[in-house]
Chain A
Amino acid sequence: MLKRLRENKSAQGTLLALPTTVWMFILLIIPLLLTLVISFGKRSPDGEVIYTFSFDNYLRLMGFSSCDGGQSLCFDPIYLQILWRSLQLAFNTTVLVILMAYPLAYFIARADPKRRNTFLFMVLIPLWTNFVIRVYAWMMLLRKEGAVNIVIGTVAKWLGIDFVPLELLYTPGAVLIGMVYEFLPFMILPIFTSLEKIENSLYEAAADLGAGSFRTFLRVTLPLSMPGVVAGTILVFIPVMGTFIVSDILGGRQYILVGNLIQRQFLDARDPAFGSAASLILMVMTLVVTYFYTRKFGFGEEIIAA
């Protein structure tokens, strides 16, 4: 028996991969299938799931619901607005993050190799600081009495302008800042990795051929660092679409994203069927965006570096 196993390479591989495969099957594949099944179900009066096959939850997400006791179909785009808001926020966050991450990654990649590790280390500390703690930090900064208002107030006083502290917390802007802060390091690292890989000889060649530093950047550096930007975009866009803590704490009760919608169906509203449908729509949305995006720009190995 043992001897046969020793000769059978395929059986060895299966055996080695089996624990992981079984684990992932039970805790990933089955849950996803269960989500799919339940999304066609209905909510019972006490918040349990009734297994049926209806598209009601999906129709409701698209804005259609029955009203007048099921007599007619009403259209209320509230959930479409939430989906659209989440997409917009994810898009805006990603763009802002790229604009902030690129200069820093460029700076680190071009820094003296002796100091490069220190600069990188300085990016890792905020990255590994707990997600919830980082939201809390911004909650403190954005309050009426917070540091942001103090800084603006001091500058205003210095310029002789009257200044009333702004209510920055619980605004869409606060959510955007929080999201940018949370996910910025996820963009810096892959861009850095792809910038670091560019060989010096390419810059030399560009210089020999008479390109100035700006043209070298535009024609050599930027195109070659695109895999990093693509990997970073995936690492930022996907989690922003699903995060609910940032909007929960910095956006207040009124500012709802898909993540908040799903979370509330499972905890407050007790409608898992509707929550499952929303969750699947979220998954499909991120997969579709990621698919088209990576097909257009390629999929770099930089994603592993982060």
Chain B
Amino acid sequence: MNPYRRAPSILIPAILVYVFLYAPIVGLILYSFNASRTNVTFEGFIPSFSGRVVMEGSLVKSAPCGPFHWYCDLAKNSDVLEAAGNTLTIAFTATILSTIIGTMAALAMQRYDFKLKPFTQLSLYIPIVIPEIVMGIGILTLFSQFFGWFNGLFGLTGDARLSMGIVTVTVSHIAFMVPFVTLVVQARLQGFDKAYEEAAMDLGANEWTTFRRVTFPMILPGVLSGALLAFTLSLDDFVITFFTNGPGSTTLPIYVYGLLRRIITPQVNALSTVWILIVFLAVLLLQWLQSREAKPQHE
């Protein structure tokens, strides 16, 4: 019997698991076109375009954007736009910082021996093996104790008080992103042929030139996929953000979570659909980067 031939029995379970993975996503997208405002049952698509929104009970009969009514509605929602802005600000800042210090740490861990190494290793390992909530409430406690003490010490009141906000969220995001950046860059450094660097040094380049012209270009795909992974982790994060955000620093996951406890219109589905689309593109980009990285580079 040919051992390579796929047993037909495996095809059906595989399809069923794919159905399980995609049914919720398909449902989510379908309901974003729902004519029903209450969004409990699917009442069909919004049939026509018109200058203004025409409602009949809880059903939207026609709207300026037609079937895409909820998407247009979403674009006008200032809370969503603010949350999206916060999410991106935090993700960009945290990604840049965590990529820089994470890459430095990866170089240190892979290339050097130093006294601090076991401790650094441990602190990079812990976030991966403890539940996120443990880290989240730890950071919450740290900030609230520190802010309480600091505000009391300087007698700060009102808006002058230190409090949770975009800064605390960003700083905390970096803490859980760095281990992943380091992991990815270290994996790239492991497959790195030191002969290139030695050749550069032999030809008279100093350490900095060697790093800038040889090492960095070669590990760049690894750094980029580490950065992209970090970026996605930050966009996606709920738990750490939940415990470290404050007024004015609501991110999209926190915003959606808040909505789920109130009345849900198809707008939430429209938001989810846009988000899924962005993720789709991001994963495509990540795969493209990794396929480039997989090819050996000879120059």
Residues of A in contact with B (beta carbons under 8 Å apart)? 6, 9-14, 16-21, 23-32, 34-35, 38, 49, 100-101, 103-104, 106-108, 110-111, 117, 121-126, 128-141, 143, 145, 147, 181, 184-185, 200, 203-204, 206-207, 212-213, 216, 234, 238-239, 241-245, 249, 259, 262-263, 266, 272, 275-276, 279-280, 282-283, 286-287, 290, 303-304
Q: How far is the CB of A57 from chain B (nearest CB, A)?
A: 14
Separation of A140 and B38 alpha carbons in the complex (Å): 12
- B104 and A19 within 8 A (CB): yes
The interface residues of chain A lying within 8 Å CB-to-CB of B13 are 100, 103-104, 107
The interface residues of chain A lying within 8 Å CB-to-CB of B182 are 20
- B275 and A129 within 8 A (CB): yes
A6-B207, A10-B113, A266-B243 known; A107 and B133 CB under 8 Å?
no
Q: How far is the CB of B231 from chain A (nearest CB, A)?
A: 11
Q: How far is the CB of B18 from chain A (nearest CB, A)?
A: 7
- B238 and A245 within 8 A (CB): yes
Separation of A249 and B113 alpha carbons in the complex (Å): 48
- B120 and A17 within 8 A (CB): yes
0/1 string, B185-220, CB within 8 A of A gives 1: 001000000000000000000010000000000000
A16-B112, A17-B116, A238-B129 known; A103 and B14 CB under 8 Å?
yes
0/1 string, B214-257, CB within 8 A of A gives 1: 00000000000000000010011011000100000000110011
7 contacts between A and B (CB under 8 A): A14-B112, A16-B107, A130-B236, A130-B279, A140-B28, A262-B133, A276-B137
Interface size on B, residues (CB 8 A): 91
- 10 extra A-B contacts, CB within 8 A, seeds A6-B207, A31-B135, A140-B31: A10-B114, A16-B104, A20-B124, A24-B120, A126-B21, A133-B272, A145-B40, A259-B131, A272-B137, A279-B137
The interface residues of chain B lying within 8 Å CB-to-CB of A31 are 135, 138-139, 141-142
- Does any Cβ of A come within 8 Å of B140's Cβ? yes
A14-B114, A263-B133 known; A213 and B23 CB under 8 Å?
no
The interface residues of chain A lying within 8 Å CB-to-CB of B236 are 128, 130-131
Q: How far is the CB of A145 from chain B (nearest CB, A)?
A: 5
- B28 and A136 within 8 A (CB): yes
Secondary structure of the A contact surface, majority rule = helix
Separation of A8 and B41 alpha carbons in the complex (Å): 69
- B175 and A23 within 8 A (CB): yes
